């Protein structure tokens, strides 16, 4: 047995040991000696801490994950999107609205930037596919991979998108009924802002496993190879995508002459004609960031509440978005800002009542199935 003599310990350590021995009521005097038994006290302290640690390990089960044990009536969403410290794009634009609608949302940030890339400069980090998979494995190791929905937005590389496909497979091995809502962010107004290699991955691999797609006009052209110059073209593109995979397709913005439309399509039974509709959206002459991410989140949120009525879900989503955009414009005008000078940050927090309880002002017009086909 090794003895520890007090003279080998400096005064500060001796004082700390004496304090701990007193705290845990360990006698620190040996017999009639006036010298404290620091060695014996140290061994007793060590034995005490070991026994308490073992007791804790054996008697305390980890607390339940309440989002699993008592799940939300709406769902549990894993959202893989970009993130900015300032402003509302990607997960910053999607997570809060879904939470307002009653969802448990776990975000994974594909990038973390100081601000969106429309500013003169930005700083930050980009998550790669290996790092994404590390997070998934961490969740799996703790039995935390049960999700009702997967939501994806901007993805900047083929390798990351391929890992997302692995995530879809992994999540569906846990919950075969997982709903995958994909916003295939590739570009807008005739211009790609991702590498062209991503287009073929979306076409060949992502579309077949998606439950719902929410492309804009340019993106649906990339996914189908069709030029969309009319409502009929948009409906045919939806039919083509149904054949490839998803039962729900929403073209979130379709510019035709002076009209801005949303076109939705829900194929309730494979091989049967889908239910299709349009919503005419008023044009606002300003450019906003984060609206596509918000629109897809709202479509996920409301379509899950109305699983058999995509047109109703779209009416609610569009009405929320338009109220938010009108508030954003009004606030920028009140601040004396020129709406045409740069992209506008949306007023998300100030519009939470419009997200939670939208007043439907924009109604769906249904196409008959003969016209739609």
Give the H/E segment covering residue 17: helix 11-23
Largest distance between two CA atoms of the chain: 104
For 240, other C-beta atoms within 10 Å of its C-beta total: 16
DSSP string over 84-128: ESSS--THHHHHHHHHHTT-EEEEEEEEEESS-TTSS---EEE--
How many Å from the N-terminal Cα to the C-terminal Cα in the chain?
Answer: 89
User: 26 in helix, strand or coil?
Assistant: coil
Q: Please say whether the beta carbons of 81 and 161 come within 8 A.
A: no
Rounded Cα gap, residues 147 and 43, in angstroms: 49
Q: Please say whether the beta carbons of 131 and 164 come within 8 A.
A: no
Measuring CA to CA, which residue among 194, 195, 186 is closest to residue 224? 186
The single residue of 293, 331, 338, 353 carrying the catalytic annotation is 293
134 a catalytic residue: no
Report DSSP state, residue 176. T
User: 78 in helix, strand or coil?
Assistant: strand
Structure tokens at 152: 């994806």
Structure tokens at 26: 């360990």
Rounded Cα gap, residues 198 and 214, in angstroms: 16
Report DSSP state, residue 203. I
Catalytic residues: 293
């Amino acid at each position: 047995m090794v003895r520890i003599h007090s003279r080998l310990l400096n005064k500060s350590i001796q004082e700390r040991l004496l304090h701990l021995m007193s705290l845990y009521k360990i006698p620190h005097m040996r017999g009639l000696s006036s010298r404290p038994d620091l060695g014996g006290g140290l061994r007793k302290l060590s034995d005490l801490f070991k026994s308490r640690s073992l007791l804790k390990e054996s008697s305390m089960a980890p607390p339940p994950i309440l989002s699993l044990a008592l799940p939300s009536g709406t769902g549990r969403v894993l959202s893989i999107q970009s993130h900015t410290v300032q402003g509302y794009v990607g997960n910053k634009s999607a997570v809060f609205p879904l939470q307002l609608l009653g969802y448990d949302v776990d975000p994974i940030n594909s990038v973390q930037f100081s601000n969106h890339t429309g500013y003169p400069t930005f700083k930050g980090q980009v998550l790669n596919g290996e790092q994404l998979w590390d997070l998934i494995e961490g969740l799996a190791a703790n039995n935390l991979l049960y999700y009702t929905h997967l939501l994806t937005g901007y993805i900047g590389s083929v390798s990351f998108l391929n890992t997302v496909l692995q995530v879809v497979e992994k999540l569906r091995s846990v919950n075969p009924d997982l709903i995958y809502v994909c916003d295939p962010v590739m570009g807008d107004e005739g211009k790609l802002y991702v590498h062209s290699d991503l287009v073929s991955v979306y076409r060949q691999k992502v579309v077949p496993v998606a439950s719902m797609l929410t492309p804009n006009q340019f993106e649906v052209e990339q996914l189908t190879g069709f030029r969309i110059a009319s409502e009929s073209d948009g409906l045919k593109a939806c039919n083509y995508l149904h054949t490839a995979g998803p039962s729900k397709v929403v073209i979130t913005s379709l510019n035709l002459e002076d009209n801005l439309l949303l076109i939705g399509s829900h194929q309730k039974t494979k091989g049967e004609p889908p239910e299709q509709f349009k919503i005419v959206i008023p044009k606002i002459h300003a450019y906003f960031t984060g609206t596509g991410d918000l629109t897809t989140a709202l479509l996920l949120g409301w379509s899950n509440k109305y699983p058999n009525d995509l047109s109703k879900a779209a009416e609610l989503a569009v009405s929320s978005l338009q109220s938010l955009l009108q508030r954003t414009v009004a606030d920028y005008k009140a601040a004396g800002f020129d709406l045409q000078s740069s992209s506008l940050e949306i007023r998300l927090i100030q519009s939470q009542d419009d997200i939670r309880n939208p007043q439907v002002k924009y109604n769906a017009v249904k196409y008959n199935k003969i016209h739609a086909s």
